[in-house]
């Protein structure tokens, strides 16, 4: 058996070697010749899994250690009988932490009042649900827009996109990238947003029309961007106007990465019949990486902001990207994972 794996998938080296030949390469450097005789391809977001890469190869499974699958041509894979699995929900806690460190950090820095505000969540899946739970815990009024969920569960508890944008002081996006969401945050979208509102994108860069966001930025209270179009060649005009800008690391916690690798390895082990790895869990050899339990009850805005910044100093990531935007990929590859947070 042969496995080709993105060498930046953490905690993976040495796991499959007793059972299969393993080739590690940078995700954006994996080419057709590498996978011609491979059974499994393990990826992150930088490997474009399409006909150009896969046609005529022996790949039977793609396991991506990410939530998103927009780097994979799913119809093509289905037509060729290639099984595709992802790590759904693996880093939801880390993205939630990112959102609230950003909201409290930027509101404190710019003097934006967020007490008792409407917190609008677009996309309430694994990540959006975590964001919703924390927002309710902190006392925000939550507005939810998720048409697929509303269609399946009923409209109660959900609102239209237009209503959310017109009535939210914080708008955060957690949608997958697909034919319906690509470019959804356009001129009309930003025109509907309230003056002074905070806008956050930690979903996929391509859900935003970046020119429309740049044009709308003067009316917004703050702009927070973690995911960008054309990564790693990011729009430096958007970087200049963003209040917080980070290199696609919102989900980069120890727990998020451990979950992603655990899920990917277990899928592959099941597929290849490797009994010893079907219950695999990464072994973290370093101390001090356990999740942090927080009690934020009764704390005021400033105290909550300080707690979030202490546990995740988001402006450090912002500073590093601004200093070296051309090193976007290096900043991601060498990122020092933070710890997830929980509340009581």
Are the C-beta atoms of 42 and 5 separated by less than 8 Å?
Answer: yes
- Label residue 2 by pLDDT band (50, 70, 90): very high
277-322, pLDDT tens digit by residue? 999 998 765 566 789 999 998 999 999 999 999 999 999 999 999 9
115-152, pLDDT tens digit by residue? 889 999 999 999 999 999 999 999 999 999 999 999 99
Phi, psi of 83 (to 5 degrees): -75, 135
Q: What are the C-alpha distances in Å from 141 to residues 116, 136, 193, 248?
A: 7, 7, 17, 28
pLDDT at 84 over 80: yes
Tell me the average pLDDT of the chain.
95
Instruction: Give the residue-averaged pLDDT of 33-60.
Output: 96
Give me the catalytic one of 83, 231, 270, 329: 231
Q: What angle do CA 276, 30, 322 make, to 5 degrees?
A: 105
Give me the catalytic one of 46, 174, 204, 266: 204
User: What's the predicted TM-score (pTM) here?
Assistant: 0.91
Instruction: Give the residue-averaged pLDDT of 200-224.
Output: 98
pLDDT at 155 over 80: yes
pLDDT attached to residue 283: 77
Nearest Cα neighbor of 186 from 217, 166, 210 is 210
Q: How many residues does the chain have?
A: 344
Our answer to whether residue 248 is catalytic in this structure is yes
pLDDT attached to residue 116: 87
Are the C-beta atoms of 308 and 100 separated by less than 8 Å?
Answer: yes
Cα 173 from Cα 204, distance rounded (Å): 9
pLDDT attached to residue 286: 57
Give Cβ neighbours of residue 34 (< 8 Å, ≥ 6 apart): 4, 23, 25
232-241, pLDDT tens digit by residue? 999 999 999 9
pLDDT attached to residue 325: 97
Instruction: Give the residue-averaged pLDDT of 85-107.
Output: 96
The domain at 2-86 falls in which architecture?
3-Layer(aba) Sandwich (3.40)
pLDDT attached to residue 258: 92
Cα 239 from Cα 247, distance rounded (Å): 10
pLDDT at 60 over 90: yes
Give Cβ neighbours of residue 101 (< 8 Å, ≥ 6 apart): 308, 309, 311, 312, 314
Cα 184 from Cα 186, distance rounded (Å): 6
Start and end residues for every CATH 3.40.50.720 domain found in the chain: 2-86, 92-250+297-343
243-264, pLDDT tens digit by residue? 999 999 999 999 999 999 999 9
**Candidates 3.10.180.10, 3.40.50.720, 1.10.1200.10, 3.40.600.10; CATH matching 92-250+297-343:** 3.40.50.720
Give the N- to C-terminal CA distance of the chain in Å, as an integer: 46
Give me the catalytic one of 144, 174, 248, 338: 248
pLDDT attached to residue 344: 81
- Label residue 160 by pLDDT band (50, 70, 90): very high
């Amino acid at each position: 058996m042969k496995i080709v794996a993105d060498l930046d998938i953490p905690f993976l080296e040495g796991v499959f070697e007793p059972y299969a030949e393993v080739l590690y390469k940078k995700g954006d450097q994996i080419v057709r010749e590498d996978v011609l005789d491979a059974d499994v391809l393990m990826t992150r977001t930088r490997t474009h899994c399409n006909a150009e890469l896969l046609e005529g190869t022996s790949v039977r499974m793609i396991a991506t250690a990410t939530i998103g699958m927009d780097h994979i041509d799913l119809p093509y894979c289905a037509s060729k009988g290639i099984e595709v699995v992802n790590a759904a929900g693996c880093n939801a806690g880390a993205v939630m932490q990112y959102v609230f460190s950003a909201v409290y950090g930027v509101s404190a820095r710019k003097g934006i009042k967020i007490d008792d505000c409407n917190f609008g969540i677009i996309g309430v899946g694994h990540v959006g649900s975590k964001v919703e739970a924390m927002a309710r815990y902190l006392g925000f009024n939550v507005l939810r827009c998720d048409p697929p969920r509303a269609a399946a569960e009923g409209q109660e508890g959900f609102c239209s996109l237009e209503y959310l944008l017109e009535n939210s002081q914080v708008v955060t996006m957690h949608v997958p990238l697909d034919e319906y969401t690509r470019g959804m945050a356009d001129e009309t979208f930003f025109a509907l947003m309230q003056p002074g509102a905070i806008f956050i994108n930690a979903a996929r860069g391509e859900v935003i029309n970046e020119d429309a966001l740049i044009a709308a930025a003067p009316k917004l209270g703050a702009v927070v961007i973690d995911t960008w179009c054309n990564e790693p060649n990011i729009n430096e005009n958007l970087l200049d106007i963003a209040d917080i800008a980070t290199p696609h690391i919102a989900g980069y916690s120890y727990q998020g990465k451990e979950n992603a690798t655990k899920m990917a390895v277990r899928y592959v082990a099941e597929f290849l019949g490797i009994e010893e790895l079907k219950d695999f869990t990464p072994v973290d050899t370093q101390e001090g990486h356990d999740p942090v339990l927080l009690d934020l009850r009764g704390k005021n805005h400033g105290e909550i902001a300080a707690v979030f910044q202490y546990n995740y100093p988001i402006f450090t990531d912002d500073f590093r990207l601004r200093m070296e935007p051309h090193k976007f990929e290096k900043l991601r590859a060498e990122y020092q994972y933070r710890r997830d947070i929980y509340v009581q």
